[in-house]
Amino acid sequence: MAQPSCDDQELLRQLARGNEAAFRTVYERYQGRIYRFALHMSGNGATAEETTQEVFMALIVKPKGYDPAKGSIANYLFGIARNVTRRTMQQPAADIPLEDDDGGQDEFAVADDLDVLEELSNCELLAALRQAVLALPGPYREAVVLCDLEEMSYQEAAGLLECSPGTVASRLHRARAMLKKKLSVQKCAK
Amino acid sequence: MREIDPIRNPSEVLLSAALHRLASGSPQNASAELGADLAQAFRHHHRRRKQVRMVAMTAMAACLALVMVLLAAHERAIQKTQSVARQELPANAPAQTPSQDHAQQAGQTRQQTTTSSADENAFMPLDAYDPAMTPSELQVVRLELSGADLRLMGAPVGEDLSDRRLLADIVVGNDGTPYAVRIVQ
Protein backbone atom coordinates (compact mmCIF):
# COMPACT_ATOMS: atom_id res chain seq x y z
CA MET A 1 0.00 0.00 0.00
CA ALA A 2 1.39 3.41 -0.94
CA GLN A 3 2.47 5.52 1.98
CA PRO A 4 1.16 9.07 2.20
CA SER A 5 3.74 11.66 1.21
CA CYS A 6 4.65 14.43 3.64
CA ASP A 7 3.72 16.92 0.96
CA ASP A 8 0.20 15.50 0.68
CA GLN A 9 -0.21 15.46 4.44
CA GLU A 10 0.91 19.05 4.74
CA LEU A 11 -1.47 20.00 1.94
CA LEU A 12 -4.32 18.31 3.77
CA ARG A 13 -3.43 20.10 7.00
CA GLN A 14 -3.48 23.42 5.16
CA LEU A 15 -6.71 22.46 3.43
CA ALA A 16 -8.36 21.69 6.77
CA ARG A 17 -7.34 25.17 7.98
CA GLY A 18 -9.11 26.77 5.02
CA ASN A 19 -6.15 27.36 2.69
CA GLU A 20 -7.72 27.55 -0.76
CA ALA A 21 -4.38 27.25 -2.57
CA ALA A 22 -3.82 23.90 -0.84
CA PHE A 23 -7.26 22.74 -1.93
CA ARG A 24 -6.58 23.77 -5.52
CA THR A 25 -3.28 21.89 -5.49
CA VAL A 26 -4.91 18.71 -4.19
CA TYR A 27 -7.73 19.10 -6.69
CA GLU A 28 -5.40 19.58 -9.64
CA ARG A 29 -3.29 16.66 -8.52
CA TYR A 30 -6.10 14.10 -8.23
CA GLN A 31 -9.18 15.28 -10.13
CA GLY A 32 -8.08 13.81 -13.48
CA ARG A 33 -7.55 10.32 -12.14
CA ILE A 34 -10.75 10.39 -10.11
CA TYR A 35 -12.74 11.73 -13.03
CA ARG A 36 -11.39 9.18 -15.52
CA PHE A 37 -11.93 6.34 -13.07
CA ALA A 38 -15.55 7.38 -12.55
CA LEU A 39 -16.02 7.94 -16.27
CA HIS A 40 -14.78 4.50 -17.26
CA MET A 41 -16.64 2.84 -14.42
CA SER A 42 -19.96 4.50 -15.25
CA GLY A 43 -19.57 5.28 -18.94
CA ASN A 44 -21.30 8.57 -18.26
CA GLY A 45 -19.69 12.01 -18.19
CA ALA A 46 -22.33 13.51 -15.90
CA THR A 47 -21.96 10.68 -13.40
CA ALA A 48 -18.19 11.11 -13.52
CA GLU A 49 -18.54 14.83 -12.77
CA GLU A 50 -20.96 14.11 -9.92
CA THR A 51 -18.61 11.52 -8.50
CA THR A 52 -15.65 13.90 -8.71
CA GLN A 53 -17.72 16.57 -7.02
CA GLU A 54 -18.79 14.23 -4.22
CA VAL A 55 -15.24 13.05 -3.65
CA PHE A 56 -13.86 16.56 -3.27
CA MET A 57 -16.86 17.78 -1.29
CA ALA A 58 -16.12 14.99 1.18
CA LEU A 59 -12.58 16.32 1.38
CA ILE A 60 -13.83 19.88 1.93
CA VAL A 61 -16.43 19.04 4.55
CA LYS A 62 -14.50 16.38 6.41
CA PRO A 63 -10.77 16.66 5.74
CA LYS A 64 -10.01 14.85 8.97
CA GLY A 65 -11.80 11.77 7.64
CA TYR A 66 -8.50 10.86 6.03
CA ASP A 67 -6.26 8.72 8.23
CA PRO A 68 -2.60 8.73 7.06
CA ALA A 69 -2.09 5.37 8.78
CA LYS A 70 -4.49 3.73 6.34
CA GLY A 71 -2.71 4.75 3.14
CA SER A 72 -2.18 7.57 0.71
CA ILE A 73 -4.59 10.35 -0.10
CA ALA A 74 -5.02 8.83 -3.55
CA ASN A 75 -6.24 5.60 -1.92
CA TYR A 76 -8.60 7.56 0.28
CA LEU A 77 -10.04 9.53 -2.62
CA PHE A 78 -10.34 6.47 -4.84
CA GLY A 79 -12.10 4.69 -2.00
CA ILE A 80 -14.72 7.43 -1.89
CA ALA A 81 -14.95 7.42 -5.68
CA ARG A 82 -15.51 3.65 -5.74
CA ASN A 83 -18.29 3.88 -3.17
CA VAL A 84 -19.98 6.76 -4.94
CA THR A 85 -19.75 5.04 -8.31
CA ARG A 86 -21.14 1.80 -6.93
CA ARG A 87 -23.98 3.64 -5.25
CA THR A 88 -24.73 5.58 -8.41
CA MET A 89 -24.83 2.50 -10.53
CA GLN A 90 -26.82 0.50 -7.97
CA GLN A 91 -24.51 -2.41 -8.43
CA PRO A 92 -23.08 -3.48 -5.09
CA ALA A 93 -19.95 -5.54 -5.33
CA ALA A 94 -21.38 -8.15 -2.96
CA ASP A 95 -23.91 -9.17 -5.58
CA ILE A 96 -21.26 -10.19 -8.07
CA PRO A 97 -19.70 -13.63 -7.72
CA LEU A 98 -15.95 -13.40 -8.00
CA GLU A 99 -13.61 -16.11 -9.13
CA ASP A 100 -10.14 -14.86 -8.38
CA ASP A 101 -8.60 -18.29 -8.27
CA ASP A 102 -7.60 -20.33 -11.32
CA GLY A 103 -10.95 -22.07 -11.66
CA GLY A 104 -13.64 -21.21 -14.19
CA GLN A 105 -11.33 -20.28 -17.06
CA ASP A 106 -12.80 -22.75 -19.54
CA GLU A 107 -15.68 -20.41 -20.17
CA PHE A 108 -13.27 -17.95 -21.76
CA ALA A 109 -10.99 -20.46 -23.46
CA VAL A 110 -12.61 -19.95 -26.85
CA ALA A 111 -12.36 -16.19 -26.57
CA ASP A 112 -8.62 -16.38 -25.92
CA ASP A 113 -8.06 -17.99 -29.28
CA LEU A 114 -10.16 -15.55 -31.23
CA ASP A 115 -8.67 -12.67 -33.06
CA VAL A 116 -11.71 -10.60 -33.66
CA LEU A 117 -10.20 -7.21 -33.03
CA GLU A 118 -8.41 -6.95 -36.34
CA GLU A 119 -11.68 -7.19 -38.19
CA LEU A 120 -13.39 -4.22 -36.50
CA SER A 121 -12.87 -0.63 -37.66
CA ASN A 122 -11.37 1.81 -35.20
CA CYS A 123 -14.65 3.54 -34.31
CA GLU A 124 -16.54 0.29 -34.12
CA LEU A 125 -13.83 -1.18 -32.01
CA LEU A 126 -13.79 1.69 -29.51
CA ALA A 127 -17.56 1.78 -29.22
CA ALA A 128 -17.75 -1.98 -28.81
CA LEU A 129 -14.89 -1.98 -26.35
CA ARG A 130 -16.49 0.80 -24.28
CA GLN A 131 -19.71 -1.19 -24.11
CA ALA A 132 -17.84 -4.34 -23.25
CA VAL A 133 -15.95 -2.63 -20.42
CA LEU A 134 -19.19 -1.23 -19.03
CA ALA A 135 -20.77 -4.66 -19.17
CA LEU A 136 -18.05 -6.20 -17.01
CA PRO A 137 -18.91 -6.93 -13.36
CA GLY A 138 -17.70 -4.13 -11.08
CA PRO A 139 -14.54 -5.68 -9.61
CA TYR A 140 -13.35 -6.83 -13.06
CA ARG A 141 -14.15 -3.44 -14.51
CA GLU A 142 -12.17 -1.79 -11.72
CA ALA A 143 -9.15 -3.93 -12.57
CA VAL A 144 -9.37 -3.06 -16.29
CA VAL A 145 -9.91 0.64 -15.61
CA LEU A 146 -7.03 0.93 -13.18
CA CYS A 147 -4.48 -1.36 -14.86
CA ASP A 148 -5.30 -1.06 -18.56
CA LEU A 149 -6.89 2.36 -18.90
CA GLU A 150 -5.08 4.21 -16.12
CA GLU A 151 -1.93 2.14 -16.58
CA MET A 152 -1.37 1.56 -12.89
CA SER A 153 0.85 -1.25 -11.65
CA TYR A 154 -0.75 -4.26 -9.97
CA GLN A 155 0.75 -3.00 -6.73
CA GLU A 156 -0.87 0.43 -7.02
CA ALA A 157 -4.20 -1.02 -8.08
CA ALA A 158 -4.08 -3.52 -5.23
CA GLY A 159 -3.59 -0.61 -2.82
CA LEU A 160 -6.63 1.17 -4.16
CA LEU A 161 -8.81 -1.94 -4.39
CA GLU A 162 -7.68 -3.17 -0.97
CA CYS A 163 -6.68 -6.60 -2.19
CA SER A 164 -3.47 -8.41 -3.11
CA PRO A 165 -1.59 -7.80 -6.39
CA GLY A 166 -2.25 -11.46 -7.25
CA THR A 167 -5.99 -10.86 -6.97
CA VAL A 168 -5.68 -7.85 -9.25
CA ALA A 169 -3.74 -9.93 -11.81
CA SER A 170 -6.33 -12.68 -11.65
CA ARG A 171 -9.24 -10.27 -12.05
CA LEU A 172 -7.50 -8.55 -14.93
CA HIS A 173 -6.85 -11.83 -16.71
CA ARG A 174 -10.48 -12.85 -16.42
CA ALA A 175 -11.70 -9.38 -17.35
CA ARG A 176 -9.67 -9.36 -20.56
CA ALA A 177 -10.96 -12.80 -21.46
CA MET A 178 -14.51 -11.54 -20.90
CA LEU A 179 -13.82 -8.51 -23.05
CA LYS A 180 -12.57 -10.62 -25.93
CA LYS A 181 -15.56 -12.89 -25.63
CA LYS A 182 -17.98 -10.00 -25.66
CA LEU A 183 -16.24 -8.51 -28.69
CA SER A 184 -16.33 -11.80 -30.55
CA VAL A 185 -20.03 -12.18 -29.80
CA GLN A 186 -20.57 -8.69 -31.16
CA LYS A 187 -18.59 -9.51 -34.29
CA CYS A 188 -20.62 -12.68 -34.83
CA ALA A 189 -23.84 -10.75 -34.39
CA LYS A 190 -22.61 -8.28 -36.99
CA MET B 1 2.06 -3.13 -16.67
CA ARG B 2 2.22 -6.74 -17.62
CA GLU B 3 4.27 -7.88 -20.58
CA ILE B 4 2.47 -9.61 -23.45
CA ASP B 5 4.16 -11.84 -25.98
CA PRO B 6 2.92 -10.48 -29.36
CA ILE B 7 3.66 -13.73 -31.19
CA ARG B 8 1.90 -16.05 -28.78
CA ASN B 9 -0.92 -13.64 -27.91
CA PRO B 10 -1.62 -11.32 -30.83
CA SER B 11 -5.18 -10.69 -29.65
CA GLU B 12 -3.86 -9.57 -26.26
CA VAL B 13 -1.65 -7.04 -28.00
CA LEU B 14 -4.55 -5.78 -30.04
CA LEU B 15 -6.77 -5.58 -26.98
CA SER B 16 -4.13 -3.65 -25.06
CA ALA B 17 -3.71 -1.23 -27.94
CA ALA B 18 -7.47 -0.81 -28.23
CA LEU B 19 -7.80 -0.18 -24.49
CA HIS B 20 -4.99 2.34 -24.72
CA ARG B 21 -6.77 4.12 -27.53
CA LEU B 22 -10.00 4.04 -25.53
CA ALA B 23 -8.23 5.62 -22.58
CA SER B 24 -6.52 8.32 -24.63
CA GLY B 25 -9.71 9.05 -26.59
CA SER B 26 -11.75 9.74 -23.44
CA PRO B 27 -11.93 13.09 -21.64
CA GLN B 28 -8.97 13.40 -19.31
CA ASN B 29 -10.24 15.93 -16.79
CA ALA B 30 -13.40 17.13 -15.15
CA SER B 31 -14.80 20.37 -16.51
CA ALA B 32 -13.31 23.69 -15.45
CA GLU B 33 -16.74 24.68 -14.09
CA LEU B 34 -16.58 21.83 -11.61
CA GLY B 35 -13.23 23.07 -10.34
CA ALA B 36 -14.60 26.61 -9.98
CA ASP B 37 -17.75 25.32 -8.23
CA LEU B 38 -15.69 23.27 -5.81
CA ALA B 39 -13.39 26.21 -5.07
CA GLN B 40 -16.46 28.31 -4.33
CA ALA B 41 -17.91 25.55 -2.15
CA PHE B 42 -14.58 25.42 -0.31
CA ARG B 43 -14.65 29.18 0.32
CA HIS B 44 -18.30 29.09 1.38
CA HIS B 45 -17.71 26.15 3.73
CA HIS B 46 -14.78 27.80 5.47
CA ARG B 47 -16.50 31.19 5.66
CA ARG B 48 -19.47 29.53 7.36
CA ARG B 49 -17.14 27.55 9.63
CA LYS B 50 -15.46 30.78 10.69
CA GLN B 51 -18.84 32.39 11.38
CA VAL B 52 -19.96 29.40 13.41
CA ARG B 53 -16.69 29.48 15.34
CA MET B 54 -17.07 33.23 15.98
CA VAL B 55 -20.65 32.77 17.19
CA ALA B 56 -19.59 29.91 19.42
CA MET B 57 -16.72 31.95 20.86
CA THR B 58 -18.95 34.99 21.41
CA ALA B 59 -21.56 32.84 23.10
CA MET B 60 -18.91 31.27 25.28
CA ALA B 61 -17.51 34.69 26.22
CA ALA B 62 -21.02 35.94 26.99
CA CYS B 63 -21.69 32.89 29.15
CA LEU B 64 -18.38 33.43 30.94
CA ALA B 65 -19.18 37.12 31.54
CA LEU B 66 -22.66 36.22 32.79
CA VAL B 67 -21.24 33.65 35.17
CA MET B 68 -18.73 36.20 36.46
CA VAL B 69 -21.45 38.84 36.95
CA LEU B 70 -23.65 36.32 38.76
CA LEU B 71 -20.74 35.26 40.95
CA ALA B 72 -19.94 38.89 41.79
CA ALA B 73 -23.59 39.60 42.58
CA HIS B 74 -23.75 36.52 44.75
CA GLU B 75 -20.60 37.58 46.57
CA ARG B 76 -22.00 41.09 47.08
CA ALA B 77 -25.22 39.62 48.45
CA ILE B 78 -23.26 37.44 50.86
CA GLN B 79 -21.16 40.43 52.02
CA LYS B 80 -24.30 42.54 52.45
CA THR B 81 -25.98 39.82 54.48
CA GLN B 82 -22.89 39.46 56.63
CA SER B 83 -22.60 43.23 57.24
CA VAL B 84 -26.32 43.47 58.13
CA ALA B 85 -25.92 40.58 60.50
CA ARG B 86 -22.83 42.25 62.01
CA GLN B 87 -24.76 45.50 62.49
CA GLU B 88 -27.71 43.74 64.04
CA LEU B 89 -25.78 41.43 66.32
CA PRO B 90 -24.27 43.94 68.86
CA ALA B 91 -27.49 45.87 69.32
CA ASN B 92 -30.46 43.61 69.80
CA ALA B 93 -32.66 46.63 70.37
CA PRO B 94 -31.14 49.34 68.27
CA ALA B 95 -34.08 51.72 68.67
CA GLN B 96 -33.97 51.29 72.42
CA THR B 97 -30.21 51.85 72.80
CA PRO B 98 -28.94 55.40 72.68
CA SER B 99 -26.49 55.56 69.82
CA GLN B 100 -24.13 58.48 69.41
CA ASP B 101 -26.16 59.77 66.49
CA HIS B 102 -29.32 59.62 68.47
CA ALA B 103 -27.64 61.38 71.36
CA GLN B 104 -26.38 64.20 69.13
CA GLN B 105 -29.77 64.51 67.53
CA ALA B 106 -31.32 64.53 70.95
CA GLY B 107 -28.82 67.18 72.12
CA GLN B 108 -29.74 69.44 69.26
CA THR B 109 -33.42 69.11 69.95
CA ARG B 110 -33.29 69.16 73.70
CA GLN B 111 -34.86 72.61 73.77
CA GLN B 112 -37.70 71.61 71.48
CA THR B 113 -41.07 70.37 72.76
CA THR B 114 -41.77 66.69 73.20
CA THR B 115 -44.58 66.84 70.69
CA SER B 116 -42.15 67.14 67.78
CA SER B 117 -42.84 64.06 65.69
CA ALA B 118 -39.21 63.77 64.48
CA ASP B 119 -37.93 63.45 68.02
CA GLU B 120 -40.68 61.37 69.46
CA ASN B 121 -38.78 58.12 68.99
CA ALA B 122 -35.32 59.45 69.80
CA PHE B 123 -33.56 58.92 73.14
CA MET B 124 -32.36 62.08 74.76
CA PRO B 125 -29.04 61.74 76.56
CA LEU B 126 -29.07 62.83 80.19
CA ASP B 127 -26.18 64.42 82.05
CA ALA B 128 -24.74 61.08 83.14
CA TYR B 129 -24.63 59.77 79.52
CA ASP B 130 -21.24 58.44 78.46
CA PRO B 131 -20.83 57.54 74.73
CA ALA B 132 -18.01 55.14 75.59
CA MET B 133 -20.41 52.77 77.32
CA THR B 134 -21.11 49.52 75.49
CA PRO B 135 -24.68 48.33 74.85
CA SER B 136 -24.11 45.30 77.04
CA GLU B 137 -23.80 47.57 80.07
CA LEU B 138 -27.14 49.22 79.41
CA GLN B 139 -30.77 48.20 79.49
CA VAL B 140 -34.04 49.92 78.68
CA VAL B 141 -36.87 50.09 81.16
CA ARG B 142 -40.30 51.52 80.51
CA LEU B 143 -41.73 53.56 83.37
CA GLU B 144 -44.69 55.75 84.01
CA LEU B 145 -43.53 58.88 85.83
CA SER B 146 -44.87 62.34 86.47
CA GLY B 147 -43.63 65.17 84.27
CA ALA B 148 -41.97 66.78 87.33
CA ASP B 149 -39.98 63.59 88.08
CA LEU B 150 -38.89 63.34 84.51
CA ARG B 151 -37.81 66.98 84.51
CA LEU B 152 -35.78 66.32 87.66
CA MET B 153 -34.07 63.46 85.87
CA GLY B 154 -33.10 65.90 83.13
CA ALA B 155 -35.76 65.15 80.57
CA PRO B 156 -37.04 68.20 78.63
CA VAL B 157 -40.60 68.24 79.96
CA GLY B 158 -42.50 71.49 80.04
CA GLU B 159 -43.90 73.00 83.28
CA ASP B 160 -47.45 72.43 82.06
CA LEU B 161 -46.86 68.64 82.12
CA SER B 162 -45.53 68.52 85.67
CA ASP B 163 -48.68 66.85 87.05
CA ARG B 164 -49.27 64.58 84.10
CA ARG B 165 -48.24 60.91 84.21
CA LEU B 166 -46.01 60.20 81.25
CA LEU B 167 -44.83 56.88 79.83
CA ALA B 168 -41.10 56.94 79.16
CA ASP B 169 -38.34 54.55 78.11
CA ILE B 170 -35.25 55.09 80.24
CA VAL B 171 -31.83 53.71 79.45
CA VAL B 172 -30.21 52.73 82.74
CA GLY B 173 -26.84 51.28 83.58
CA ASN B 174 -26.26 48.16 85.63
CA ASP B 175 -26.06 50.33 88.72
CA GLY B 176 -29.41 51.99 87.94
CA THR B 177 -28.00 55.32 86.71
CA PRO B 178 -30.26 56.81 84.02
CA TYR B 179 -28.34 57.74 80.86
CA ALA B 180 -31.05 58.57 78.33
CA VAL B 181 -34.76 59.00 78.18
CA ARG B 182 -37.46 58.83 75.56
CA ILE B 183 -40.98 60.03 76.13
CA VAL B 184 -43.30 57.41 74.74
CA GLN B 185 -46.66 58.94 75.63
- Interface ipTM > 0.85: no
Q: Which residues of B5-40 are buried (b: 16+ CB within 10 A; e: fewer)?
A: eeeeeebbebbbebbeebbeebeeebeeebbeebbe
Domain boundary among A92, A126, A157: A92
B156-165: pLDDT as tens digits: 888 888 888 8
Local structure of residue A3 (DSSP, 8 states) = P
Chain A residue numbers with beta carbons less than 8 Å from the beta carbon of B37 are 53
- The whole domain housing A116 covers 100-189
Compare CB distances from B15 to A27, A150, A176 and report the shortest one's residue.
A176
pLDDT of residue A4 exceeding 70, the answer is: no
pLDDT at position B29 is 87
**pLDDT tens-digit profile of B116-128?**
444 456 788 888 8
Shared domain check, A118 and A56 = no
Regarding whether A51 and A74 lie in a shared domain, the answer is yes
pLDDT in tens, B98-117: 444 444 444 444 444 444 44
Residue A1 lies in a domain: no
A84 plus A107 within the same structural domain: no
- Would you state the pLDDT for residue A119? 57
Q: At what angle do helices A154-161 and A73-89 cross, to 10 degrees?
A: 60
Looking at residue B70, its pLDDT comes to: 94
**Residue A104 falls inside a structural domain:** yes
- With respect to residue A68, please indicate whether it lies within any of the assigned structural domains: yes
- A124 shares its domain with A148: yes
- Domain membership of residue A34 (yes or no) is yes
- pLDDT at position A94: 45
Distance, in Å, from the CA atom of B42 to the CA atom of B88, rounded to the nearest integer, reads 68
The pLDDT value recorded for residue B2 is 55
Query: Could you say which of A39, A57, A92 is where a domain stops?
Result: A92
Nearest to B15 among A32, A49, A180 (CB): A180
B/e letters for A48-78, b = 16+ CB within 10 Å, e = fewer, are bbbbbbbbbbbbbeebeebeeeebbbbbbbb
One domain, residues A123 and A184: yes
Number of folded domains in chain A?
2
Whether residue A106 is predicted with pLDDT greater than 50 in this model: the reply is no
Write out the H or E segment, with its range, that includes residue A159: helix A154-161
Q: Is the pLDDT of residue B57 over 90?
A: yes
- Residue of B22, B37, B43, B54 best to disrupt the A interface, most CBs of A under 10 A: B22
Query: Which residues in chain A are contacts of B12 at CB distance < 8 A?
Result: 176
Last residue of a domain, one of A28, A61, A92: A92
Looking at the structure, do residues A76 and A116 belong to the same domain, yes or no?
A: no
Residues B39/A59, Cβ–Cβ less than 8 Å: no
C-alpha span between A84 and A35 (Å, rounded): 12
Is B29 in Cβ contact with A32 (below 8 Å)?
A: yes
* Cβ(A180)–Cβ(A108) below 8 Å: yes
Contacts of B14 in chain A (CB under 8 A): 115, 117-118
Which has more confidence, B50 or A4?
A: B50
Q: Does A2 score more than 70 pLDDT?
A: no
Residues A107 and A183 in one domain: yes
